[in-house]
């Protein structure tokens, strides 16, 4: 893609350009925001580095692409919410105007590079602006380990003590310290290169937790040279130092030195640039173990019956959640007409209960024919309207199921937060992860859904995680060979959980589009849950009980032709575990648990977890049933105090229960690969 690089002059914005080029994107312009009062170096902007702005004009000559700039005023960080929405007179709107102007002048602009590492504040604002302009965000430094990242930057940097004797080193990355504001850093560090200051930063990190890449504002840098500075570089001639209390600054005096670097040299440097591996440390072992068995992945079209169950719309209130399930249109209409009917019904239900749309936390979308996904997604997106209802759309699982009733193109179910519904503006009780930029971290957001959603007032941080498929994050292409997709998708799920700090699994679903990978899925999940197999961080703190919360279902299709998708609900910490359920749970919750036990369900295929919240206790139960009468008994006994997701094969005829989300699938398996007639996730 053709991209504009947002630059501050600092190391991160330029090093991200390096990675954009590594991933075959084409740099066509630079963008910068600078102080309107040109004599000021520091505006204390919440968003933009302005120290060293007087050197920015040189970069256009160095790189050989046009530079677009726009001024900003002091004290214009009007909206300081983590998840930004357009705010009049905010400095971010100047960024929007800048990029809009560039896009008008360069119509084939497709993407924007930003050097965010840990700052969600910075990332969400660039993503908001780019989303409004139809641009892709490229943020390849996002969530990188700082020590590892700094080591790589130093590896690609020149040795400034030996430039005269090393021609190749003289054309490499060169960033200098221009500001320090942390314990252990002072004016003697100003002007240092990254390799020179790296040992100091590691020591300060060990002593005082100083951020090695300066993500806490400990230091700022200015780039003088880079391998893609093909037309010239900046030669440092003098350093003017000045201090303000514990903050030390430098103004660099430079001269532009013209030169010509060949494309061959740049390509050599790009070839040497380290990039993260697809599988993180600790994930190679399950890849190798699972790959010992040869698996044939092939397309199998389901030709069986459609669902016989009459799944009427269900509206069920449990604790502080409203579950709206089985929204379908049974009339023989076009995809768009059925979509309009379903979302109109959902809007009516929310309106009648005085619930704003931004209180939807999670959604489950079944599509009969995935070739209609784009048409349905358009209606879904218009319904949510992020510019009106806030920047955090619900998490979502979306799969294709040809088992839906005849003439039914789609089915929608949602989970809704019932707290503070009187406020129709942005739901400030909603927390989430809505990453829209490409990186090495995990797949970016490619639709109207968040990677994860939770409630900020929830002590357990019960989190709804969107379904994850095996996309290579930096390219957003499916992982090859396809057998690796299952592990990569589970790694993505794990990455999201670790990023938000909610790693305890309450219940999980793995959707597979080909039964031949069933054994592969079971082995991968068993290894993931086993604490005895490996000693790395990936495997510790996992117990065998974690296995039992998984339901594996064979469905017809997955987005992008994926072979598997992992989704589920996790939490930050468990207040109560399964051995305490009967003692600490309420009477109704114990009835649910006893229903399974009285039905002689094998404990191997039973899993129950409880989490405590102020004034209540919530259970998340997973189970399998192979007898229709026993299923009816479980559903009867849970009808007053639970919400059930019921997976069943389309040939089954099941009575309608108001508290059930009916989920027709082709086949159902437990975590060991044993087939069952019915599977249930129960929230009570």
Q: What is the 3-state secondary structure (H, E, C) of 459-521?
A: CCCCEEEEEECCEECCCCEECCCHHHHHHHHHHHHHHHHHHHCCCEEEEEEEEECCHHHHHHH
Kindly give, in sequence order, each residue whose CB lies less than 8 Å from that of residue 505, ignoring residues fewer than 6 positions away.
Answer: 546, 549, 568, 569, 570
- 293: exposed, middle or buried (Cβ count in 10 Å: 0-12, 13-18, 19+): exposed
Torsion sign (Cα): 226, 229, 235, 241: negative
Instruction: Give the residue among 32, 21, 36, 27 at the shortest CA–CA distance from 2.
Output: 27
Distance of CA 17 to the CA centre of its chain: 22
pLDDT above 50: residue 584:
no
pLDDT confidence tier of residue 409, bands split at 50, 70 and 90: very high
- Neighbour tally for 617: CB within 10 Å: 18
- Neighbour tally for 325: CB within 10 Å: 26
- Integer Cα distance of 468 and 510 in angstroms: 9
What pLDDT does 133 receive?
A: 96
- Integer Cα distance of 432 and 55 in angstroms: 38
What pLDDT does 240 receive?
A: 94
- Neighbour tally for 288: CB within 10 Å: 8
| Mean pLDDT of all residues belonging to the chain | 86
Question: Which pTM value belongs to this model?
Answer: 0.89
What pLDDT does 529 receive?
A: 87
Q: Which domains, from first to last, does the chain contain?
A: 2-272 (3.40.50.620), 542-554+574-684 (no CATH)
- Integer Cα distance of 151 and 169 in angstroms: 16
The DSSP 8-state label assigned to residue 183 in this structure reads T
Kindly give, in sequence order, each residue whose CB lies less than 8 Å from that of residue 216, ignoring residues fewer than 6 positions away.
Answer: 182, 210
Q: Which residue has the tokens 């994050």?
A: 473
% of the chain residues with pLDDT over 70: 83
pLDDT confidence tier of residue 619, bands split at 50, 70 and 90: confident
pLDDT digits (tens, 9 = 90+) for 267-299: 999 999 999 999 988 787 666 655 544 445 444
254 is written with which tokens? Answer: 């430079």
pLDDT above 50: residue 537:
no
pLDDT above 80: residue 658:
yes
Instruction: Give the residue among 148, 170, 150 at the shortest CA–CA distance from 159.
Output: 170
159 is written with which tokens? Answer: 């040795």
The DSSP 8-state label assigned to residue 295 in this structure reads -
Mean pLDDT, to the nearest integer, of 224-247? 94
Instruction: Give the residue among 273, 302, 97 at the shortest CA–CA distance from 172.
Output: 273
What pLDDT does 542 receive?
A: 44
Q: Are strands 606-613 and 616-625 parallel, antiparallel or unpaired?
A: antiparallel
What pLDDT does 530 receive?
A: 80
Using alpha carbons only, give the angle 680, 539, 471 rounded to the nearest 5 degrees.
70
Rg (CA), the chain: 27
pLDDT digits (tens, 9 = 90+) for 318-351: 989 999 999 998 788 999 999 999 999 999 999 9
513 is written with which tokens? Answer: 């589009």
What pLDDT does 165 receive?
A: 45
- Integer Cα distance of 567 and 570 in angstroms: 10
Mean pLDDT, to the nearest integer, of 176-196? 96
Instruction: Give the residue among 83, 484, 29 at the shortest CA–CA distance from 284.
Output: 484
What pLDDT does 182 receive?
A: 94
What pLDDT does 605 receive?
A: 45
pLDDT digits (tens, 9 = 90+) for 460-515: 899 999 999 999 999 999 998 877 999 999 999 999 999 999 999 999 999 999 99
93 is written with which tokens? Answer: 């709107």
Cis peptide before 315 (omega within 30 of 0): no
């Amino acid at each position: 893609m053709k991209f504009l690089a947002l630059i501050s002059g600092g190391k991160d914005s330029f090093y991200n350009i390096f990675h954009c080029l590594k991933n075959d994107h084409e740099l066509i312009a630079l963008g910068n925001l600078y102080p309107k009062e040109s004599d000021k170096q520091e505006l204390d902007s919440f968003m933009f580095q302005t120290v060293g702005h007087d050197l920015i004009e040189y970069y256009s000559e160095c790189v050989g692409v046009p530079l677009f700039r726009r001024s900003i005023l002091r004290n214009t960080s009007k909206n300081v919410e983590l998840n930004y929405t357009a705010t009049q007179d905010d400095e971010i709107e100047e960024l929007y105007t800048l990029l809009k102007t560039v896009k008008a002048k360069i119509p084939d602009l497709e993407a924007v590079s930003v050097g965010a590492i840990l700052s969600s504040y910075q990332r969400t604002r660039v993503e908001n602006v780019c989303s409004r302009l139809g641009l892709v965000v490229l943020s390849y430094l996002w969530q990188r380990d700082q020590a590892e990242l700094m080591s790589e930057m130093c590896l690609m940097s020149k040795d400034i003590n030996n430039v005269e004797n090393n021609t190749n080193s003289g054309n490499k990355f060169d960033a200098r310290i221009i500001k320090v504001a942390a314990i252990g850093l002072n004016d003697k560090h100003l002007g240092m290169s990254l390799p020179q200051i790296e040992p100091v930063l590691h020591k300060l990190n060990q002593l005082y937790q100083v951020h090695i890449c300066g993500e806490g504002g400990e230091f700022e840098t200015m780039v003088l040279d880079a391998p893609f500075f093909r037309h010239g570089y900046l030669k440092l001639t003098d350093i003017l130092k000045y201090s303000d209390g514990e903050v030390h600054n430098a103004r660099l005096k430079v001269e532009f030195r013209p030169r010509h670097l060949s494309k061959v040299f740049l390509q050599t440097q790009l070839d040497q640039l380290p990039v993260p591996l697809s599988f993180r440390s600790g994930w190679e072992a399950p890849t190798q173990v699972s790959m010992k068995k040869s698996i044939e992945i092939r397309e199998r079209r389901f030709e069986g019956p459609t669902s016989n169950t009459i799944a009427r719309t269900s509206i069920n209130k449990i604790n502080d959640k409203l579950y709206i399930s089985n929204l379908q249109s049974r009339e023989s209409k076009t995809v768009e007409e059925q979509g309009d009917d379903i979302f109109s019904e959902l809007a009516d239900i929310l309106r009648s209960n005085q619930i704003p749309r931004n209180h939807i936390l999670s959604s489950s979308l079944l599509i009969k024919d995935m070739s209609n996904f784009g048409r349905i997604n358009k209606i879904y997106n218009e319904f949510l309207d992020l510019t009106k209802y806030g920047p955090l759309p619900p998490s979502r699982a979306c799969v294709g199921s040809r088992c839906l009733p005849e003439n039914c193109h789609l089915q929608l179910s949602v989970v809704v937060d019932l707290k503070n519904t009187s406020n129709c503006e942005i739901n400030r009780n909603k927390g989430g992860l809505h990453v829209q930029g490409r990186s090495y971290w995990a797949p970016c957001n490619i639709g109207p859904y968040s990677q994860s959603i939770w409630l900020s007032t929830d002590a357990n941080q019960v989190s709804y995680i969107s379904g994850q498929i095996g996309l290579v994050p930096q390219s957003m292409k499916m992982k090859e060979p396809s057998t690796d997709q299952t592990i990569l998708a589970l790694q993505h799920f794990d990455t999201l959980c670790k990023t938000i700090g909610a790693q305890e699994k309450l219940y999980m679903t793995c959707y597979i589009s080909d039964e031949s990978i069933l054994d592969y899925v079971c082995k991968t999940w068993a290894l993931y849950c086993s604490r005895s197999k490996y000693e790395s961080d990936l495997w510790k703190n996992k117990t065998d009980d974690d296995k039992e919360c998984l339901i594996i279902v064979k469905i017809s299709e997955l987005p992008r032709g994926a072979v598997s998708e992992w989704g589920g609900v996790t939490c930050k910490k468990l207040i109560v575990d399964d051995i305490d359920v009967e003692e600490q749970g309420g009477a109704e919750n114990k009835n649910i648990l006893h229903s399974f036990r009285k039905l002689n369900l094998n404990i191997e295929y039973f899993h129950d977890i409880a989490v405590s919240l102020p004034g209540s206790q919530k259970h998340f139960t997973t189970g399998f049933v192979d007898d229709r009468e026993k299923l009816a008994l479980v559903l009867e006994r849970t009808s007053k105090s639970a919400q059930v997701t019921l997976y069943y094969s389309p040939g089954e005829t099941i009575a309608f229960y108001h508290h059930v989300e009916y989920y027709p699938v082709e086949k159902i398996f437990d975590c060991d690969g044993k087939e069952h007639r019915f599977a249930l996730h129960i929230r009570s």
